[in-house]
Amino acid sequence: MNISLEPLYSWLLTHGLRIALILVAWVVVLKISKKLITKFEEKLSEGQEEERKKRIKTLGRIFKNTVAVVVGVIFGLIILKEFGVDIGPILAGAGIVGLAVGFGAQTLVKDVLSGLFILLENHFRVGDVIQVAGVAGLVESISLRVTTLRDLEGKVHIIANGEMGVLSNLTKEWSRVVLDIGVAYKEDPDYVMGVIREVGNEMLEDKEYKKLILEPVEILGVDDFADSAVVIKAMIKTRPLKQWQVAREFRRRLKKAFDSKSIEIPFPHRTIYMGEAANKGKLVVHAQVKQEQA
């Protein structure tokens, strides 16, 4: 019994060849579209401020993903047609299935709509640091369904857009260092505030840090009388994401300035009280240990 391979050869030379060309076209269209979107991002980002650049980058990623899905669906249907599949009922069935899924996937719809509003209203962008759903971290990616954060320890947190609730953006447009500086009660607060201001001015003149600080240090004054310290509150306005770097350097310089000027910073210590008490006519010596702040 001889099996004719002529129909297979004929199919390969017609439909098979077309399918191969469609796959090549699929890859080419994806590469060209991604390259065009990247070029468009770079063009729009030229001469723009950092906040604008981050928003363009975020929207560019979303647009690339959307184009990839749309192109994939179109070319997938074309390939099915080459295999002899009638795509008309598939399209009609997709509408019915989509309607059914819509009723059963309210959470998914909620996530997608929330993601859309996040992008349209510009709540945050890739590269921002946000605090949401009990975690905080750097925004690594945003999709219509989820947002991905990476915290300081390197942990990745994936949060559904519809479950975010109250969101805090720590780096939108500018950031701020808030410092509660405690000194001993014996120190003159006006003198201490002068030293704090001097340290702030020194950082403004520093070649590295003057690029990160937007405004001189703002001293709000004596904020609290704590158990063992007078608390002075100060603030420094910085570029986005730079508040932690500026805060660490400011504290280092302030500690050295306080040491050089003999300004006391309270610290925990123990005080031992010695006393005598009468006990059945005898004198005994006892010690009492009390934990307090200097």
The residues that bridge with 147 in the sheet, in sequence order, are 142, 159
Check if the beta carbon of residue 151 is closer than 8 Å to that of residue 171.
no
Q: Tell me the average pLDDT of the chain.
A: 82
Average pLDDT over residues 6-12: 72
Average pLDDT over residues 203-215: 94
Confidence at 246, pLDDT banded by 50, 70, 90: very high
Lowest mean pLDDT among 39-48, 171-180, 185-194, 227-236: 39-48
Higher pLDDT pick, 34 / 10: 34
Assigned CATH class of 175-268: alpha beta
Confidence at 267, pLDDT banded by 50, 70, 90: confident
Ranges of each domain in the chain: 9-104, 123-169, 175-268
**Sign of the Cα pseudo-torsion (16, 18, 24, 26, in order):** negative
- Is pLDDT above 70 for 109? yes
Average pLDDT over residues 91-120: 69
The residues that bridge with 287 in the sheet, in sequence order, are 274
Backbone torsion region of residue 265, taken as left when φ is above 0, otherwise alpha when ψ lies between -120 and 50, otherwise beta: beta
Distance CA 231, CA 114 (A): 42
Average pLDDT over residues 36-52: 78
Predicted confidence at residue 261, as pLDDT, reads 95
Lowest mean pLDDT among 76-85, 121-130, 255-264: 76-85
Lowest mean pLDDT among 64-73, 88-97, 279-288: 279-288
Check if the beta carbon of residue 64 is closer than 8 Å to that of residue 32.
no
The residues that bridge with 150 in the sheet, in sequence order, are 138, 156
pLDDT in tens, 12-40: 777 778 888 888 888 898 899 888 888 88
Confidence at 292, pLDDT banded by 50, 70, 90: very low
Distance CA 38, CA 116 (A): 21
58 vs 38, 49, 62, 138, 235, CA distance in Å? 12, 15, 7, 13, 30
Check if the beta carbon of residue 217 is closer than 8 Å to that of residue 209.
no
Does the pTM exceed 0.85? Answer: no
Predicted confidence at residue 294, as pLDDT, reads 39
Closest CA to 239 of 180, 170, 167: 170
Q: Euclidean distance between the first and final Cα of the chain, in Å?
A: 103
Adjacency order of strands within the sheet including 156-160:
156-160, 146-150, 135-142, 129-132, 167-169
Check if the beta carbon of residue 214 is closer than 8 Å to that of residue 237.
yes
Q: At the topology level of CATH, where does 9-104 sit?
A: Helix Hairpins (1.10.287)
Closest CA to 82 of 23, 4, 6, 9: 23
Lowest mean pLDDT among 77-81, 145-149, 251-255: 77-81
Q: Which amino acid is at 256?
A: K
pLDDT in tens, 138-153: 999 888 889 999 998 9
Q: Which CATH number fits domain 123-169: 3.90.400.10, 2.30.30.60, 2.10.10.100, 2.40.290.10?
A: 2.30.30.60
Check if the beta carbon of residue 199 is closer than 8 Å to that of residue 253.
yes
Lowest mean pLDDT among 77-86, 117-126, 238-247: 77-86
